[in-house]
Chain A
Amino acid sequence: MFDLLPHLLNGLVLGLLLALIALGFMLIVGLMEQINLAHGSLFALGAYLALALTGPNPPLPSDLAALWLQVPLGWRYGIALIVAPCLAGIVGIAVEFCMRRTYGSDPLYGLLLTFGVALVLEEVLRLTWGTRDHVLPIPQSMSGGFIFGDLIWSTYRFYAAGMAAVVIGLVWLFIEKTPYGAMIKAGAHDSEMVRALGVNLSKLRLGVFMLGTMLAAFAGIVVAPIWGIRPHMGVDAVVPAFLIIVLGGVGSFWGAVIASLLVGLAVGVSGAYASEWSLLSMYLLLVAVVSFRARGLFGKKSMLEV
C-alpha cells in the first residue's frame, strides 16, 4: 500500500490542477450552454503571456525592460499571475462578441466557431514565440524539491496544487455567496426568466465568458512550469477539461471537482502499473461512467441534450 502512496499523491495533485483547468470551461458551459473549444488556446495564451512578463525578453522599450528586469523574479511572477489573465480576458471579450451571433442557434455553431478561434490563436502563438518549447521561470523559493519518505518531491507541484485549491474555493464562494453567482446559476437554469426579472443577460454572459477566460489563463500559468510551454499545449488541456465536465455532469460545480480528482487518481494510479498507458485510463473512466449514468455523476437535464 505504501508503494502506491506517491502515485496517489501525484494523482491528487494532478486532479486539483485538472479541476483548475476545467473550472472556466465549466462556468461557460453551465451558463451559456456553449462548448468553448478555444479554452485550451486561452490556457496556452496565459502561459505565453506570463512567459513574456517573467522571461528575459519582456515586450517593453529597452530602458523600461532593463528596469523591469531589476524587479525580483518573485514579484514579477506574482504580477504575471494577475496581469496575464487580465490580458487574456480582453481576448475572451473579443471572442464573446463573435460568439453572440451563435446564441439561440444549434450549439454546434458555437463549438465550430471556437474551434476556428483555437486554430487562429494557436497560429498566433506559434508566429510570435516560435515552435520550440519554453520554460516559465519560477521564483527560487518555489522551485527545487524536498525529500520525504525516501522519495524526492517537487516543491512546485505542491504550490501549484495549493493555488488550484485556493482558486477553486474562491470561485465556489463567488458562485454560492454573491448575488452575481446567484444570477449565473439562475441564468444557467432558465435564461428567459432571468431576463424577465430585469437582469442584463448579455452583460452577464460577457462577464462569465471573461471570467472563464481568465481562469483558463491562470490555469495555464500555474501548470506551465510542470507541463512546459509549447504552441499545442492547449489540446492537452482542453481534452481533459471537456472530459471532466461530461464525467461530472454539466452544470454541477462539485461534480466537476470530484470528476477532476477521480481522473487525476485514475491517471496517477494507472501510471504506477502501466505508465505508457496512463492517459488512456481517463477515457476509459469516462466511457464506463457515461454508459451507466448518461448525464455524468451529478448532471441535471440540460439544453445540450436536444
Chain B
Amino acid sequence: MTGTSSDARLITPTMIAAWLVLATVPLWISKVGLYPYIGVEILIWSIYALAFNLVLGVSGLPSFGHGAFFGIGAYAFGLTQFNVAANLWVCLIGATLAGAVAGLLVGLFIAHRRGIYFALLTIAFGQIFWTISVKSHSITGGEDGLLNIVRLPVNLGVVAFDISDNDSLYYFVLAVFAVVAVVLWRLVNSPYGRLLSAIRQSEVRTAHLGYNVWLYKLSIIVISAGFSGFAGGLFAMAQRSAFPDVMNLAQSGLVVMMTLVGGGLVSFWGPVIGVIVFLTARDVIGAMTNAWMLYFGTMFVLLVLFRPDGIAGAFKLLVERWKARGATPSLSSAPRSG
C-alpha cells in the first residue's frame, strides 16, 4: 500500500474474497480453454512480483536485476535437494537464504545509490549472476539447466501431502501465497514500511530526520531478494528444473513490466493484477499469434505514455469518479499520484 493511509487490519475482506475465488480456479480453468498449470505459474510469479514491488513501488528503487535472485533461489532449491536434504521445507529455506545472501552482497554495493544509477548497477549485477550461472556447467548445468528436480511432499509432521500433480501443487502454492501476501501486507503497513515510503518520497528529508537510510534500503533489498529467492524455489519445483533464462535482462525487465502494468506504484495488489493480466494474455494471445510480444510490448508502451499508474491506478480513478458522481463537480476531482 503505497498510498496515503496505513491499514492496520491483518486481513481485509477483499483478500478473503480473492482467496475464495482463487480456490475455485482448478474447477473451471480448463473449461475456459487455459492450462491448469497457468494457475500455479500465476501464484508463483505473484509472490515474486509482490517481493519485487517492495523495492520498486514501496521504496522507489528501480531494480532491473531481480531475475538474479529468483534464479538463484531456483538453483538453490535444486542444489539443496540434491546435496543437503530432500525435504521441502529445508529446500525452500535454502532458496530463501540464497536469495537473501545474494541480495546482501548486491545491496552492499548499491544501497547508497538511487535513481538511474541504481537501475544501471542492478543490470550489471543481474548480468554477473546470469553469466556465472550460464558458465558454471558443473554446478548449474549451464544452458541445459538443472534437471530432475522433484516436487517434494508437503510434510506437516502428522500428515504428508503429495503435490506431484498440478491441482494439489496449486492448492499448496495458494496456501503459501496467502501466507506470504499477509506477511508482506503487514510489512508494508508497519512503521518500517511507512519509513520505506518516506525514503521513496524524499531520501534526503528522511535522512535529515535522523534515520539511517542506507540500512533501511539495504534491509529491504535483502528482504525482497529473500522472497524472490523463495518464489524462485517454488518455480524450480513447479517446473521440475531450473534454467538461467529467468536471470537475463529481458526476464528481469518482465517483472518490472508486470508490476507496472498492474499498478504496483499505487497499490499493494497491483503486481498480482499485472501478473494475472500478463500470463493470461501470453497464453490467450500466444495461442492465436506468434507475435504476442509485439502486441504486449505496444500495449506496455501506450500504458507508460498514458497511464503510468497501471491498471490499479485506472481502477482507482474510476472509483473516485463514480463516488464523485453525485457530488458537485470540482476542478480537482482526480488528484494524480505516483
Contacts and interface: CB of A to CB of B under 8 A. Distances in A.
A280 B294 contact: no
A109 B307 CA distance: 11
Contacts of B109: 287, 290-291
B294 A304 contact: no
Contacts of A235: 248-250
A200 to B, nearest CB: 23
Which one of B115, B116, B249 has the greatest number of beta carbons of chain A within 10 Å? B116
A112 B304 contact: yes
Interface string B8-42: 00000000000000000000000000000000000
Nearest to A113: B304
Interface in A139-189: none
Interface stretch (A49-57, A60-68, A114-122, A219-227): A114-122
Interface string B294-324: 1011101100110010000000000000000
A245 B124 CA distance: 12
B293 interface: yes
B3 to A, nearest CB: 18
A117 B304 CA distance: 11
A295 to B, nearest CB: 9
Interface string A93-125: 000001001100101110111011101101110
Given A35-B119, A98-B301, A286-B124, A111 B62 contact: yes
Interface residues of B, number: 37
A305 B124 contact: no
Chief secondary structure at chain B's binding surface: helix
A264 B235 CA distance: 37
A123 B131 contact: no
A120 B297 contact: yes
A2 interface: no
Nearest to B62: A108
Contact of A111 (B116, B121, B290): B116
A109 B124 contact: no
A35 B116 contact: yes
B132 interface: yes
B280 interface: no
A192 interface: no
Contacts of B297: 116-117, 119-120, 123
Nearest to B300: A116
Interface string B63-104: 000000000000000000000000000000000000000000
Interface in B128-152: 128, 131-132, 135
A294 B115 CA distance: 13
A65 B167 CA distance: 58
Contact of B119 (A111, A113, A283, A291): A111
Contacts of B125: 283, 287
A123 to B, nearest CB: 4
A283 B127 contact: yes
A243 B125 CA distance: 11
Contacts of A119: 250, 293, 296-297, 300
A35 B132 CA distance: 26
Contact of A116 (B119, B248, B304): B304
A276 interface: yes
B260 interface: yes
B117 interface: yes
Given A280-B132, A283-B128, A304-B116, A123 B293 contact: yes
Interface string A38-80: 0000000000000000000000000000000000000000000
Given A101-B305, A109-B308, A304 B300 contact: no
Nearest to B294: A123
B294 A124 contact: yes
A197 interface: no
B296 A283 contact: no
Interface in A265-306: 276-277, 279-280, 283-284, 286-287, 290-291, 294, 304-306
A221 to B, nearest CB: 23
Contacts of B257: 112, 115-116
Contacts of B304: 102, 109, 112-113, 116
B249 A283 contact: no
Contacts of A242: 120, 123
29 contacts: A35-B119, A98-B301, A102-B304, A108-B62, A108-B119, A111-B116, A112-B300, A113-B301, A115-B253, A115-B257, A116-B298, A116-B304, A119-B250, A119-B293, A119-B300, A120-B293, A120-B301, A123-B297, A235-B250, A239-B127, A245-B120, A277-B135, A280-B128, A283-B124, A283-B131, A290-B109, A291-B109, A304-B115, A304-B116
Given A116-B257, A280-B128, 20 more contacts: A115-B256, A116-B304, A117-B297, A119-B296, A120-B293, A120-B298, A126-B291, A127-B291, A127-B294, A235-B250, A242-B123, A245-B120, A277-B131, A280-B132, A283-B127, A283-B131, A290-B109, A304-B115, A305-B117, A306-B114
Interface of A: 35, 98, 101-102, 105, 107-109, 111-113, 115-117, 119-120, 122-124, 126-127, 232, 235, 239, 242-243, 245-246, 276-277, 279-280, 283-284, 286-287, 290-291, 294, 304-306
Nearest 8 CB-CB pairings of A with B: A119-B297, A120-B297, A116-B301, A123-B294, A116-B300, A304-B116, A123-B293, A283-B128
